[in-house]
Chains A and B, each alone.
Chain A
Amino acid sequence: MKGKVNMRDNIDLKEYLKLLGIQTENQLNQLFQKRLSDKNLIHLANLSIQKHTEDLKGLRDYQELLALQLNIPTKDDVANVAKIAIQIEEKLDLLENQIFYLMEEIQSLHHKNGNKIEKQPSKLYELKDWNKRRKKSG
């Protein structure tokens, strides 16, 4: 009997501690957000943002200057190469869409003329194979 009472008390206390923890977390968060919403703090943060931006700009300028002297690419140079790859992919995507469109047009023309459509290997899969081969060949 004593054991049962203890067990129940334990469960209650455990739940109580859990509730207390969650409530404290809520109160701490409210306090934190209240302090964070202080207008002076926002003003100070804005000044820090401006200073940080200027520092970043300065750092970038010197980095570019140094990269030029050392004859090494900057992050932007590398990104520009990647952008070309993205552009090519974009063009391939457009071409693929045009192939789809043409295939549909051919099929609807065949349909209108009442011709049987012979199963041709799909241009899409040809293109996909070509893409795979391209990737394999690096």
Chain B
Amino acid sequence: VGDHFKNLKQEKTPLKGLWKEAMPKVGQTPRMSVWKKNKATLWYYPATNKKFQTPLFLIYSLLNQPYILDLGPGLSMIEAFTNEGYDVYLLDFGIPGYEDKDFTLNYYIINYIETAVQRVLRHSNEKSLSVIGYCLGGTLATIFTSVTNIPIKNLILIAAPIDFSQSPQLTNWVNSLKNGEINLDELIDEYGLIPAKLVELSVKMMTSPISYSPYINLLTRAHDEKYVDKWLRFQQWVKGHIPFVGATLKQILNDLLKENKLINNKLTIQGRKVKLSHINSNLLVVSTSGDQIIPEELIKPIMNKVASNDKTYLRVKGGHVTLAIKGEIPEYLSEWIRERSRSI
């Protein structure tokens, strides 16, 4: 161990001057914007060598920035999809400001997601598409697929919370919220927009309040230039939480967490009833064994609620964002989409 640290001190390792250097550039896969509204952008990543007509439409969470799906060359899920021959579209909701504090889930689903999907179909000149929802983006994708008339050929949900009847983390806190002992509505109204630092702290409290193991990993693999580069990119994302819109948070806490309306088919979005039985797209649900944020019990119950004839549930090794930063599409996912996409 002594030698290891001595070497780190003497040799030229990627760690030297690490904190002085500029952060590596993320989101490098070639892209162009197709549509913009307020802070949101619909990005188009053309296929390197197009093999499939059915485009992929990615929806990411509202808690973080979506560049986790495109961390850098060789570390990007988007790049991997384009290399496999798909045209990829990503809806980036942008960083909300105080003026967006009244945006509800309804607004995100109808005014952003539904409109973006219409734009994707128009831009790609296709009649249907594959929707991939990651984390809370998966919840949005599920709600959207339940209420829209637009044909969704394939729906892929990765680490998406759907059933909130169980709470594996901070159970007493969640129970207090559910039985009304704690009411955050007024506080959320006062803030309007939940600051990014509070979002980061809340996520930390839920998962690992004390976290130094990433630094141990960095020290033990300090000679590995590729690892250090990946570590830097990932940490940049981990600490890059964005503010959360108050009205949406209230709706998530009250409608989804407290009353669990989504899985019980009681949610209403802009007058449209959200019934999971309306989902008849081919469905692939993926949960990872090491996911501390969204464990299996929060996502698996969707399997019995949808009307899809073709539905697959997969539990794979990894953490909450493993699939996003692998840099390649796992064979099961690649094969599943390939078999259900219209080839050229």
**Chain A residues packing against B (C-beta within 8 Å):** 10, 13-14, 17-18, 21-22, 25, 28-29, 32-33, 36-39, 42-43, 45-46, 49, 52-53, 56-57, 60, 75, 78-80, 82-83, 86, 89-90, 93, 97, 100
Contacts and interface: CB of A to CB of B under 8 A. Distances in A.
A78 B192 CA distance: 14
Given A18-B220, A21-B216, A42 B182 contact: yes
B277 interface: no
Contacts of A18: 216-217, 220
A128 to B, nearest CB: 10
Contact of A36 (B115, B170, B181, B212): B170
B184 A22 contact: no
For the complex of A and B, 9 pairs with smallest distance between CB atoms: A82-B99, A79-B99, A56-B190, A37-B172, A21-B216, A53-B187, A32-B209, A28-B210, A29-B208
Interface residues of B, number: 38
Given A10-B4, A21-B213, A33 B169 contact: yes
A86 to B, nearest CB: 5
Interface of B: 1-4, 37-38, 97-101, 111, 115, 118, 122, 169-173, 176, 181-182, 184, 186-187, 190-191, 205, 208-213, 216-217, 220
A78 B99 CA distance: 8
5 contacts: A18-B220, A42-B172, A42-B176, A46-B176, A82-B99
Contacts of B118: 97
Contact of A33 (B1, B101, B209, B212): B209
A13 B2 CA distance: 10
A25 B210 contact: yes
B216 A10 contact: no
A89 B38 contact: yes
A13 B213 contact: no
A33 B100 CA distance: 33
B187 A49 contact: yes
Contact of B220 (A14, A39, A90): A14
B118 to A, nearest CB: 7
B217 to A, nearest CB: 8
Contact of B190 (A13, A39, A60, A78): A60
Contacts of B2: 10
A116 to B, nearest CB: 20
A36 B171 CA distance: 10
A13 B4 CA distance: 11
B210 A32 contact: yes
Contact of B170 (A28, A37, A79, A83): A37
B182 A45 contact: yes
B208 A39 contact: no
A60 B98 CA distance: 15
Nearest to B219: A18
Nearest to A29: B208
Nearest to B102: A83
Contacts of B4: 10, 14
Contacts of B101: 79
